[in-house]
Amino acid sequence: MRHATHRLPGLVSEEHRFEVPLDHANPGGDQIEVFARVVGRPGDDAARPHLVFLQGGPGFGAPRPMGADGWIKRALEDYRLVLIDQRGTGNSTRLDAARVTAAGDAQAQADYLAHFRSDSIVRDCELVRRELCGDEPWSVLGQSYGGFCATRYLSPAPEGLREVYVTGGLPPLRATADEIYARTYGICKRKNAAYYERYPEDVTSVREIAEHLATHEVLLPGGDRLSLRRFQTLGLQLGFSDGFETLHYLVENPWTMGAGGRELAYAFLRGVENTQAWDVAPIFSLLHEACYTQGCASRWSADRLRAEHPEFTLEHEGPLYLSGEMIDPCLFAEVGALRPMAEAAELLAQKDDWPVLYDLDRLGANKVPGAAAVYANDMYVEREYSLETAAHIPGMRTWLTDEYEHNGLRSNGAHVLGRLIDLVRGEA
């Protein structure tokens, strides 16, 4: 373990790097690095309990603190905060096309990528906990996919946990990818309808852009093709509190006049690139459906089920709907940074021997206190599945609220985290 210390306004940040096995079943094999930032307030007792934060995704690094505000400020009232860059993200050993293709042929690449799910992330956390805390358990806060990781944590290693807090991320315990997307497509359609109700002029704007992309070769500033299907993935924004506005301001003035007539403006195309992260967070595309696969294959579940929903096609007479958190296989042909991993992605989609993530008996005997914010209108983690999971885990209290969207921790984190802490302590 190596570390460096830095001081920010109101914060002290220690940066740590840990060596962990790529495959925890083979601890003497290849090693990778996991980065963690331990954050506290100046003068705080170093022995105070730790709270590890697990970021959403999969495939995104932990937040980079700029100061003591939002949910971080609330957390530091009770804890030292551990911000882990989950394996393959942030300052941990980077997972990108160069590293993946260096693993060998497509099968070797798929085998390498299979080590980046929540089961491996939890094993990493346990190694980090022992380095930082010894035998003392720590608490965990899981946002979105981080909540999936926190729930996994309760299966193999509940002894490492003091408390569990989850925001928008209690996962289905046994539902298949097909069952999950069957529900989330319905939620996505409701979000689209609400978006167009707020901005009715965008019905025309979105369709005009889509029809142009269907009949013209359009390149983004970075050189990738902007297809109709990739344009529709902008609907991922619809589940955030500011997502309707993000989309509206992007499509409200997308055109310019070129030598051959009207064309999509550079500012619009750059805006599309800025809104998407397919190239810089490849784990999200490669392993998103694998979040749901236990002993079965996803076989591009979201793409297969899309055929049942004509609202997402230009042939539909009504408003053209934008897709949500559905991974489109076209991305591996159209996003340059993903293209070298296309064959491996196909193998992962067909992989049918994924390990089971959640031990129902272990979860049913849980003794770790926990609290979860379940967002009533969550576009990504369907609330009924979350409530079913909470009901299966003794000690997991729920706060069902329609006050926030999926990004409640970002939009009003001090209140959200404070409410969960009060629930665990029996004060709410």
pLDDT, tens only, 242-299: 999 999 999 999 999 999 899 999 999 999 999 999 999 999 999 999 999 999 999 9
For 104-121, what is each residue's pLDDT tens digit?
Answer: 999 999 999 999 999 999
Mean pLDDT across 138-150: 98
CA distance 348 to 345: 5
User: Is 353 one of the catalytic residues?
Assistant: yes
Band (pLDDT 50/70/90 cuts) for residue 1 is low
CA distance 103 to 156: 29
Torsion of the alpha carbons at 84, 88, 90 and 94, rounded to the nearest 10:
140
For the domain made up of 2-173+358-424, give the CATH fold: Rossmann fold (3.40.50)
Band (pLDDT 50/70/90 cuts) for residue 23 is very high
CA distance 385 to 183: 10
DSSP symbol at 339: G
Catalytic residue among 144, 205, 285, 323: 144
In this structure, the number of other CB atoms found within 10 A of the CB of residue 103 comes to 17
17-38 exposure pattern, b = at least 16 Cβ within 10 A, e = fewer: bbebbbbbeeeeeeebebbbbb
Catalytic residue among 50, 115, 288, 406: 406
Q: Residue 219 contacts by C-beta under 8 Å, 6 or more apart in sequence?
A: 225, 226, 269
Mean pLDDT across 40-46: 88
Kindly give the interhelix angle for 243-251 and 202-215, rounded to the nearest 10 degrees: 60
The answer to whether the CB of 329 falls within 8 A of the CB of 320 is: no
Count how many Cα atoms sit within 13 Å of the Cα of residue 304 in the half-sphere of its side chain: 13
Q: Residue 130 contacts by C-beta under 8 Å, 6 or more apart in sequence?
A: none
- Give me the long-range contacts of 259-264 (CB less than 8 A, separation at least 24): 263/216, 264/209, 264/212, 264/218, 264/226
Q: Length of the chain, please?
A: 428
Q: Is 327 exposed, middle or buried (0-12, 13-18, 19+ CB in 10 A)?
A: buried
Residue written as token pair 């029809």: 211
Q: In the chain, where are the structural domains located? A: 2-173+358-424, 177-350
Band (pLDDT 50/70/90 cuts) for residue 99 is very high
For 302-353, what is each residue's pLDDT tens digit?
Answer: 999 999 999 999 999 999 999 999 999 999 999 999 999 999 999 999 999 9
Q: Is the full-model pTM beyond 0.95? A: yes
pLDDT score recorded for residue 338: 98
Mean pLDDT across 227-241: 97
Q: Residue 367 contacts by C-beta under 8 Å, 6 or more apart in sequence?
A: 158, 394, 395
**65-69, 142-146, 214-218: least confidently modelled range:** 65-69
Catalytic residue among 45, 135, 353, 361: 353
- List the structure tokens of 140: 């965990």
